[in-house]
Amino acid sequence: MLAEFGIVLGKIAFVLFLILNGAGILTWVERKQGALISDRIGANRASILGIKLWGLINSLADAMKLAFKEDYSPPRGLHFLHSIAPAIAMFPVFLTFAVIPFGPPIELWGHHIRLQILNLDIGVLFILAFGSIAVYGSMIAGWASNSKYALLGGMRTSAQMISYEIILGLALIGPILVFGTMEPAAMVNAQNTLLWGWLPRWGIVVQPLAFLLFLPAALAEGKRAPFDMPEGESEIIGYFTEYSGMRWGMFFLGELAEIVVLSAVITTIFLGGYHIPYLYDAVEQAGQAGFHFPWGSYWALGDWTVAILRIIAFALKVAFLMWFQIQVRWTFPRFRYDQLMRVSWREMMPAALLNIGITGLILMLLKN
């Protein structure tokens, strides 16, 4: 019992390490990537004993600055709600990762360890539920600040999140129907098969329209450009107008952590999770671990080698999607607010419903 408790704590510590460090590195990636796009140098000033690490020290300097910066609270605001709103906005993002399998089950010191904190039959609903709680933090922040600009940002947040969370849910119905489960690990395993003997049965292959709907809806869920209406830096500043110091930093960290978590969710449901095409362990391939290619070739590997390659594959897929989200942020102009709402309700919603209908019809015909 004590060993199992230690394993769970170890998995939680690893996930927190992954999200926090991923979010921290993203502060540097966002600056450097934006600088390269606009032909600038980017962050490169801060140093420790002359060591700059290509600008990585700037992220550490920013964290130190936020830690020692004055923590302002508006005198006419609701102080208790103003204080807890950043935590409400940030912590649900971390909880969402609990059901994400970040690697295959492994045997270690006589224990069978699932590289997943929480195994839930309704894991997809868990992701949607806790992902939607974070919006309450932004709404409370706008209300408790007693500022019309912050309140306007909070109202925009609620409208945007309601609109695009519906799209997220509808887009996921297609993969749920195809894979026949709402458990993320089972979804990942269902994608480790082949269509027509050679094509990986990834979510993006069997549900391309759902992927094309889920990806922009996930970007909008993250409240980042070109979907940054709740902030609107050139208009209203946003729901965190009256925040400073580490409480402002918690909002910022929550947004960056959401990039990591959304990348992991997309990887799990649409990109095969930790699986690599044609790579199987000994259990999946009758005792012969390694690459089994459709044309008959075989490359033997050890079970631990297969497990390590799969963990690396998951990390690389997540890293690519994180890079892609930053690239979108620096590439496309912002939508107008009316355009943002119209795209969700009048264009993406009918497409999501159409995808559900077509998927159900195809599955019914295949069963008959």
Q: Is residue 349 assigned to a domain?
A: yes
Q: Mind listing the pLDDT tens digit for each residue in 249-299?
A: 899 888 889 999 999 999 999 999 999 999 998 877 777 888 988 888 888
Look at strands 111-113 and 106-108 and give their pairing: antiparallel
CB 260 within 8 A of CB 322: yes
DSSP 20-81: HHHHHHHHHHHHHHHHHHTT---S----BTTB-GGGHHHHHHHHHHHHHS-----TTS-HHH
Domain count, the chain: 1
Q: Is residue 332 assigned to a domain?
A: yes
- pLDDT confidence bin for 1, thresholds 50/70/90: low
Q: State yes or no: cis peptide before 104, omega within 30 of 0.
A: no
Q: Is residue 30 assigned to a domain?
A: no
Q: Mind listing the pLDDT tens digit for each residue in 110-150?
A: 778 889 998 899 999 999 998 888 889 999 999 999 988 89
Q: Is residue 240 assigned to a domain?
A: yes
Tokens of 105: 């089950």
The length of the chain is 368
Q: Is residue 339 assigned to a domain?
A: yes
User: What CA–CA distance (Å, rounded) separates 93 from 11?
Assistant: 17
The answer, yes or no, to whether residue 57 has pLDDT greater than 80, is: yes
- pLDDT confidence bin for 349, thresholds 50/70/90: very high
User: What CA–CA distance (Å, rounded) separates 257 from 157?
Assistant: 18
Percent of the chain at pLDDT exceeding 70: 98
The residue assigned the tokens 């799990």 is: 268
How many beta carbons lie within 10 A of that of residue 38, not counting itself?
9
Comparing CA positions, the residue from 132, 135, 136, 130 lying closest to residue 81 is 136
Q: Is residue 341 assigned to a domain?
A: yes
Determine the structural domain holding residue 140 and report its residue range: 2-20+72-274+300-367
Kindly give, in sequence order, each residue whose CB lies less than 8 Å from that of residue 290, ignoring residues fewer than 6 positions away: 279, 280, 298, 299, 300, 301, 306
Angle at 12 between CA 282 and CA 179, to 5 degrees: 50
pTM reported for the whole predicted model:
0.93
Q: What is the pLDDT of residue 236?
A: 66
Q: Is residue 234 assigned to a domain?
A: yes
Q: Mind listing the pLDDT tens digit for each residue in 183-235?
A: 999 999 999 999 988 999 999 999 999 999 999 999 988 888 788 888 777 77
